[in-house]
Structure 1
């Protein structure tokens, strides 16, 4: 019997286009003999559109926008007993950024009691908010670079004081980031006061809260994939080697001018430490399904966790699937595993008593 699978993509987020590319890639990898695949598209204004059964891979991003034949629905219709919901579908959220990767959609799916791929409400929201995430990592004893954070209202009232705090606590260079966004959107590197002020202005365009992190000169950026539920496993380690000054949005998605070294050239002791820290990070946010954990490795061999991404880039050319490909898990197999973990976690939740 085929598994009914709804791929959920798009979203009211600055990462809307990234999500569409991910969804296109997933439709090309799914085994249509194993799955009944239905597209669910959230427009950039928040409208939900549902398409009919896919008979094969989507041919283009335009097709996935469901402008020809898509049906506008209320999200609650996913569990209303309509034809596509007669047997509970597994929802595969391929959403990046706020209003999708941050626990909002996951909370709705929990209320509808639908199985879904990936992290739950807590892990998604904590993984989206870089400040909360780093606070949890600190509680778990994971080494991190120095950081400070600010609300837009603080900056608007006393910009000079915020700049002084960065200079006194962190110094230059430093990285300024929106607290709740991914794909390197809104991130800047600041090497002096003028660049810091410009970086604050840009980051606050995307969020009401920003985080500023200490820069590490010459540190390598390495990443590892984590897969599973209660007993997570790790992939090989990969390294990001951007030819620009840092791995920004343009380097990730437009230039194609960044090297991914898989596996990374690290010794066995460092690899063991990366795996240990990645699993600790995964468990500290109560992860499920998947995360990509990102680290800094200094010239002196010191290892610092940077962040985890609870819905990492998921095209066949993204780091997360490539890490697993080099760990003998193909892209279609990876998708199948994630759907399996979603069912496993959903079945476990059904054992919880709601009366006494």
Structure 2
């Protein structure tokens, strides 16, 4: 089965996307006929030789010597001296952050009728922006922590009690995230966050709270869930720890939790997934507070596709590929113009 892995992008998470692609290659190459398509920061696509799927290929700029690709209806096109070659196959969108998760790639693939694994544009809008994620969860009856929004061009007035977390609204991988414990730390934390986004989300910092990760996807109308993971970490995963986390490929241990809690987590996951995320494998990160489940974040393109949470990751991807949503093609026949022309005798 053919599958292209798309990675890179013009994003603060560009390098993490490369790490994820290399990891996923190792998980899928025995079961799939893989192609690797790299999107550089200037939005040029390159077909990467499988043997060159190493981080230094991109850091040294060696990818620029490889074949360039352009988008065409149904896939990609490689032009050469002796003609063109089409590359038509489903694509696994593994671009983290902007481009991959903000809806740009989803819109592009919809426009060119390219089948792909990943969030569609509507899902991207609500999961890429943490503020919109709060709105989505509230509309679906899924609890989230209380929050407030601070914008770069507004007064820096924060009502949330200390300590709290400052997060850029449209960025992942803990980039620009800070814990603020007292007033003297606020301006610096906001300055750091505003380097990456003009909108930040502020939430109370919950020390010692239980956290659980659950991934899944829908195929043929049924959701396949991963195991529930209880991440082992310090106060929160900073960028360096998450960078290493994105290269995980070994299967992790299932959290020792009750069936009742697993049921709550799955119910919350299904409520989030069902209306918008068809065609994507996502991971939801939850808090458990006093027996109640709270959504922390939606990861619409999780690091290394959360391969470590599935017993058979290759089989999961095959199953998802067999159930991708098919956008209805619109055929224009110009009946309206023809009828007007006939009425006018032209």
1:119-148: CA deviation from partner (whole Å, max 9, x where unpaired): 111112211111111101101111111011
Which structure has the greater CA radius of gyration?
A: 2
* Other-structure match for 1:17: 15
The answer (yes or no) to whether the contact 2:67–2:78 under 8 Å persists in 1 is no
Please tell me whether residue 345 in structure 1 is matched to residue 325 in structure 2. Answer: yes
State the secondary structure of the residue aligned to 1:176. strand
Distance 1:255 1:33 in 2: 24
Match of 1:110 in 2: 110
Q: Aligned pair in 2 of structure 1 residues 352, 301: CA closer, same or farther (>3 Å)?
A: farther
CA deviation string 1:140-178 (max 9, x = no partner):
111111011122122xxx22xx2xxx33xx312211111
In 2, distance between residues paired with 1:312 and 1:254?
13
- Aligned-residue RMSD, C-alpha: 2.8
Higher mean C-alpha displacement, 245-254 vs 141-150: 245-254
Secondary structure in 2 aligned to 1:175?
Answer: strand
Superposition pairs of residues 26-175 of structure 1, within 5 angstroms: 26-31=24-29, 34-35=32-33, 37-43=34-40, 45-51=41-47, 54=49, 56=50, 58-63=52-57, 66-67=62-63, 69-76=65-72, 78-79=75-76, 83-85=84-86, 88-154=88-154, 158-159=155-156, 162=157, 166-167=158-159, 170-175=160-165
Deviation at 1:40, TM superposition (A): 1.6
Question: 3-state DSSP class of the match of 1:234?
Answer: strand
User: For each residue in 1:209-230, what CA deviation from the matched residue of structure 2 results, as whole angstroms up to 9, or x when unmatched?
Assistant: 1111122232111110111254
Q: Secondary structure at the match of 2:117?
A: coil
Report the alpha carbon displacement of residue 58 of structure 1 after superposing the two structures with TM: 4.4
Output aligned runs, 1:3-14, within 5 Å: 3=2, 5-14=3-12
SS in 2 for 1:123: helix
**CA offset at residue 338 of structure 1?**
3.6
Q: Is the 8 A contact 1:118 1:310 kept in 2?
A: yes
* 2:190 alignment counterpart: 200
- Mark the CA change 1:353 to 1:272 in structure 2 (over 3 Å): closer, same or farther: farther
CA contact (8 A) 2:245 2:303 kept: no
Offset from partner CA, 1:276-308 (integer Å, 9 cap, x none): 00110112444432110111112x222211111
Asked if 1:233 is matched to 2:234, the reply is no
How far residue 249 of structure 1 moved from its aligned partner, in angstroms, is 1.4
> What pairs with 1:194-273 in structure 2 (closer than 5 Å)?
194-229=184-219, 230-242=221-233, 244-254=234-244, 262-273=253-264
Deviates more, 1:73-82 or 1:104-113: 73-82
Q: From 304, 308, 328, give the equivalent of 1:322.
A: 308
Shift, 1:275, TM fit: 0.4
TM-score by length of 2: 0.84
* Structure 1: 5+ residue stretches without partners: none
What SS does the corresponding residue of 1:211 show, helix, strand or coil?
strand
Gaps of 5+ in 2: 336-346
Q: Distance in 1 between matches of 2:245 and 2:43?
A: 31
- CA separation of 1:274 and 1:335: change in aligned 2, threshold 3 A: same
Distance 1:75 1:151, change over 3 A: farther
* Distance of aligned partners of 1:39 and 1:171 in 2 relative to their CA distance in 1, 3 Å threshold: same
